[in-house]
Every structure is written in C-alpha cells, then in structure tokens.
Amino acid sequence: MAHTSSISPGWEFRLHRRAFDGATSSQRIYGGLNKLRPSGRAPTLSGFGSTVSHTATVMKLDLIDTVLDQSPDRIMAVKRVDPAEDYLADHFPTFPVMPGVLMVETMVQAARRMLASRGDARLVLGQVKALKFGNFVRPNETLEVEVTLDKDLGDGTYACRGTGVVRRLNAENNGGETAVSGRFTMRPIRTELVVKNVSPD
C-alpha cells in the first residue's frame, strides 16, 4: 500500500504502524520496519508542498518446515537451516549461523499455528520476557521448537513459553542443545496507522 503526504522543508515524515503490526517479528526487530523512511523524490528548499510517495514492502518468511506434534496448548515444530538462505551471506560471511531473531520468529510462528484454532489466525508478537540464547544453529542443522500456552489473558492475548533446541548432523549425542528459550505473548493484530511529523533537532 502506498501512502502519500505533502511535507514542508526541514521536516521529516515518518510512518509508524502501531506496534509494528503487519510485519513478522524478525522484520520488526532485524529489519527496522517500525520507521519507514521516505522513498521517491526528496523535497528541496523550493519544494514546499512537494509530494513524496511512501511505500512499505512486507516480506513473507515461513520458518516452519514441519509440525511434529500439536494440541490446543502445545506444539512442536522444526526449521532446517538451508545453506542457500539469503541471510547467511551476511550473518556471518565467515561463520554463517541462524540469527537469534529468526529463532524467536520460529517460536512465534509455531505459537500462531497452535492458537489459530481459537479463532484468530493473525496473532502477532506482543512482549518478550526472560529471553536467552545458547547454542548456534548452523547450515544443515535443525532448530526444533516447543511452544506451550501458559495462560489465556482474556483480551485476545495469550501468554506462551518457548524453547528451541538444535539438532546437529552426525552428532554422537543428538539429544539437543538449547539454542533459545523465553516467555512471550501473542496478541491480536492492530491496523491503525499513526502518522507523525517530527521536527528536526
């Protein structure tokens, strides 16, 4: 969706989507989609009333390869890290590993599937608490996540708990080493857009 606005010289136009709705949690944290900068023709000193087009592009990222087990309050799912995944070229060039934010996103997507039967398949990440990272997940290894529902908070928000373990190739003891763990909430998506003009310092 394109958003167009007239702006005055010396003012910066920022488009905020309340609580970063409409993007995955990895985009909100890793991609910085909470602040969408102007794209297109920039205003000049003589450009009072100029029109600038603002376009947001949301990338879809499915991190669940297989659901191993699922019930109304628990889900187990896996994500294999494919060596061809684009982000590995930058994270990191000499030591490619799955970014921690994508580990969190894997748990979020698993939680969304677990909670979909309760009537809202568009739940998004709310809060994250007690988040811990442990072992790396490298290419050709698998992140196995388990998410459980702790509590229905009664306002469409759900408190969840998640753990992700790494399954390594050819490991003698492949019982799984903890890669990520923490508590988080899932809440209904909000669609209200808030537009702010921010005066320069």
Residues forming the active site: 91
Tokens in use for 107? Answer: 């748990």
| Whole-number Å distance between alpha carbons of 187 and 127 | 9
Tokens in use for 75? Answer: 């889900």
- Say if CB 62 and CB 76 are below 8 A apart: no
CA 38, chain centre distance (Å): 22
| Whole-number Å distance between alpha carbons of 113 and 73 | 11
